[in-house]
Amino acid sequence: MTDETVLAERRGPVSLLTLNRPEKLNAMSLEMKEALIRALRTADADPAVRAIVLTGAGDKSFVAGADIAEFSGRTGIDQWRMYERGTLYDAVERLETPAIAMINGYCFGGGLELAMACDIRIASDRATLGQTEINIGIVPGGGASQRLPRLVGLGTAMKLTLTGERIDAAEAQRIGLVDEVVPHARLERRAFDIADRIASKSALAVRLAKAAIRASARLPLDQGLRYEQSLFALAMSSEDKEEGVAAFLEKREAKWKDR
Ligand code: COA
């Protein structure tokens, strides 16, 4: 399927979504964000899709932020109405399917916010990252003030956001902003290795595990632990639990039913 600004490709159980505006370093226009929301919903609703990989077209950029050209003339009321319709970042946050950001180059502003809304971030050794809104006189509006400190701590989030500095992939990994850095030529293979490995598990167990870990960002510890116990109890009553345990004891591969 091709929607000018977002390319959607199925590779076995993995949906690869590519932001496709390389001449503008994949800066996200409103049209592109809407197209990506639609593509994400389609992928998430398809039971055959067991993981989603998000990346940018071309060899230089993941996403160089929101389209800055669209900011001129936009009013506060315009912006408020956009938020009321729901954002791309909300859409990524709500995915039940695990989402991997395959960061293949520039990853700035809204691009970094998009990557942070995903579940796992794998970066090319050529990637450069930054929460750079301050450089154009604005502040992050796609979740960075909340997700960045949760990933890297308050001080580092402050430093990145208030200075607008760009960091390389190695530094991003050191501070916990990305989970792995791989040589550029191996980026796609590594991202798909991870996606395929997730896809080989019980989709039900994957979704429960994702829901529990996601809850850690919004629940106090005691409630989060209780929520984990509820999901563990739910997993206990699944057909895949019986199958997984039997397969282990019989020393064979499990055949998941995803229920
Ligand atoms: N919005 C709109 N257009 C953008 C853009 C953005 N966020 N980022 C890059 N572009 C456009 C440039 O205007 C340029 O368009 P043009 O060829 O029509 O002039 C094209 O993409 C290539 O960018 P260019 O700046 O020439 O490439 P570069 O390799 O020299 O620099 C960046 C790359 C990413 C460092 C630089 O483009 C940049 O700083 N972009 C803004 C990043 C940012 O701060 N984003 C968050 C904003 S909230």
pLDDT digits (tens, 9 = 90+) for 144-168: 999 999 999 999 999 999 999 999 9
Give mean pLDDT, residues 97-119.
Answer: 98
Which residues fall within 8 angstroms of residue 162, CB to CB, at 6 or more apart?
134
Q: Is 53 exposed, middle or buried (0-12, 13-18, 19+ CB in 10 A)?
A: buried
Name the nearest CA neighbour of 166 among 194, 196, 129.
129
Q: What is the DSSP string of 233-246?
A: HHHHTSHHHHHHHH
**Ligand 1 center to 65 CA (angstroms):** 8
Residues framing ligand 1 (Cβ under 6 A): 24-25, 27, 64-69, 106, 108-109, 132-133, 135-136
81 pLDDT higher than 80: yes
133 is catalytic: yes
| Closest ligand 1 atom to Cα of 106 | 34
> Sorting pLDDT into bands at 50, 70 and 90, what band is 138?
very high
Give me the chain's average pLDDT, please.
97
For 9-17, what is the mean pLDDT?
98
- Please give the Cα distance from 231 to 235 (Å, whole number): 6
Following DSSP, what letter does each residue of 133-174 receive, concatenated? Answer: GGGGT----SSHHHHHHHHH-HHHHHHHHHH---EEHHHHHH
Q: What is the pLDDT of residue 1?
A: 47
224: how many CB neighbours lie within 10 A of its CB? 16
Give the Å distance between the CA of 63 and the centre of ligand 1.
10
